[in-house]
Amino acid sequence: MVFAPIANFVMWLVWPLCNVLVALPAGYLLRPLLSPGRRLKSRLLAACTILAMVVTVHLLALNPRIAQWLLPLTSPIFAAFLVIVLPAIHLPPGRLRRAFMLIPVLFVVLAIVQIVTHYTQVPADQRGFYGFPISPWLLMSAAASLCVLASLVLPIGALRWFVRLTCFAILMFGGFLFRASVQDYRDMLTRRMDQPTGIMNLSETSPVLQSDTRMLHLPSAPCRFPADGGYVQGCPMELAQRVMQVDYARVGSLDVAEVHGVTVLLGALVVLMGLLAMTGRWFCGWVCPLATTGKAFEGVRRLFGIDHVKSPGWLKGTFRVSGISLASITLVMARLYPRLDANGCAFGLKLPVYPFCKICPAQQVCPTVTAGADRYPGIPGWQWGGGFFTLGCAGLLAIFILTFTMFRQLFCRLCPMGLIGGHFNHASPFKLTKDPSRCNGCGICADVCPMDIERVRDDKLETNVLGEDCLLCLKCVERCPRDKCLSASFDGRMIAESEFGSKGK
């Protein structure tokens, strides 16, 4: 088939844009490149700089030792963001922007063609359902393209749900539906039949993006424990536990396997920091599958017409401290991994390989949602950590359900991944801006905020009202009844603005 060589060539061409060290400066340079008011000289300089970085990475990758350090720094998310999302944000309305929209359409078509191509290569006597076999880079490009195209016709609220459900399908069911090839799908089915129930065993899962050369951890809570391993490697807390488990004595002795593992971990950590620098806590409000699952419990409350309980300040603070404490305790436990004996014990306590994962609600919710009740792993026995994991697992699951049914997203104040992302809000290109002269203090922004943030309503002096707790869901912008009172921007380009005339759409 002609498609495969073309797709491989395109991937090889844009591969350097997947590197976080290229993606961040290239994203900064795209703004002058795409802005119509810029001089031709500045545009050419930006284009030549991006081209020079791409060529440099290609040349450096020819050296196997350098390539070993470059591969862990790559993620197809960066290329999709640079080629599809950023131009859609920065290009002003007009002929050029309409012409650009052919690129997202092309990626969607290419994705369909690749899936069909995989099926046509299956022998007639082996025809059947193999999910939607598609390479990860093309899936992410097609998903980004669909979201960009949807933004042309959907209001903010509907677009938010479109993005959430698209990401939910990939992150929760991607291990089953979006394997890289037909053979990968068959291998997944074999692992699924062999996978024991009732325990949490990392060796029995295989995320689609799992590789010996790189890992991808998103800045929210995409658990790797859905049926069939999920799509990405896991959440930032899994990465943090892996870092804590490094045997530095073996690294010091230049053990090949341990040094290679550290190389991959450092690359994953830099990629995670790059994603946080680009998005802040946006992943929490638009992508996090655990929050989307929690919305189902919130929907039950709304179905019965029960109003939510507003979170008091002391409870918010308690949850924040509790989240930090639980994360710290489990990371210390993870550090004991090199000391585990043959029975998995350290200092007389039986410890799981990934302590935080053992108490995280995602480890119970995700397998159940994706494969049914028979895949529910159950509550750990009292032998685990002297009962710490029994109480922690049951307690956090109960808190997860209660906080989404009684409150709104109170659990997001407990989540360590959200606490990490919040620190990047101020450094990210996202801005939430308020014009105090247009605000009448109606308080709708505070009423609709899932995090019960009152600063947007109360601040009468500052124009920048983006705080660490903000999920960038943009509900305040969506619901504000004052024209041009609230606006959201990305890298200086406005992406949403309050418009009274748009209410009710």
pLDDT tens across 140-191, in order? 999 999 999 999 999 999 999 999 999 999 999 999 899 999 999 998 888 7
The phi, psi pair for 488, rounded to 5°, reads: -120, 140
Query: Cα–Cα–Cα angle for 266, 83, 51, nearest 5°?
Result: 75
Cβ burial of 452 (10 Å; 0-12, 13-18, 19+) is buried
* Separation of CA 87 from chain center: 21
Q: Is the pLDDT of residue 195 over 70?
A: no
Cβ atoms 78, 216 nearer than 8 A: no
Domain layout of the chain by residue ranges:
1-192, 290-422, 430-502
Contact 384, 277 (CB under 8 A): no
CA–CA–CA angle 446, 495, 14 (5° rounding) = 130
* Cβ burial, residue 55 (10 Å; 0-12/13-18/19+): exposed
Nearest to 206 by CA among 243, 241, 246, 176: 176
Q: 3-state SS string over 69-81? A: HHHHHECHHHHHH
Measure the CA–CA gap between 505 and 501, rounded to whole angstroms: 9
- Domain 430-502 coded CATH 1.20.120: no
CB count, 10 Å around CB of 33?
Answer: 19
Per DSSP, the chain holds a count of helices (H) and strands (E) of: 25, 5
Distance between start and end Cα atoms, the chain? 46
Which has the closest alpha carbon to 385: 431, 354, 421?
Answer: 354
* Residue 91 three-state SS: coil
Give the pLDDT score at 190: 84
pLDDT in tens, 35-83: 776 777 888 888 899 999 999 999 999 999 898 899 999 999 999 999 9
What is the percent of the chain where pLDDT is above 70? 94
Query: Bridge-partner residues for 74, per DSSP?
Result: 19
pLDDT by residue (tens digit) across 239-250?
A: 999 999 998 888
463-to-95, 311, 408, 423, 485 alpha-carbon distances in Å:
33, 25, 27, 19, 10
Least confident of 48-57, 194-203, 303-312, 441-450: 194-203
DSSP class of residue 380?
P
> What are the tens digits of pLDDT across the range 448-490?
999 989 889 988 888 889 988 999 999 999 999 999 999 999 9
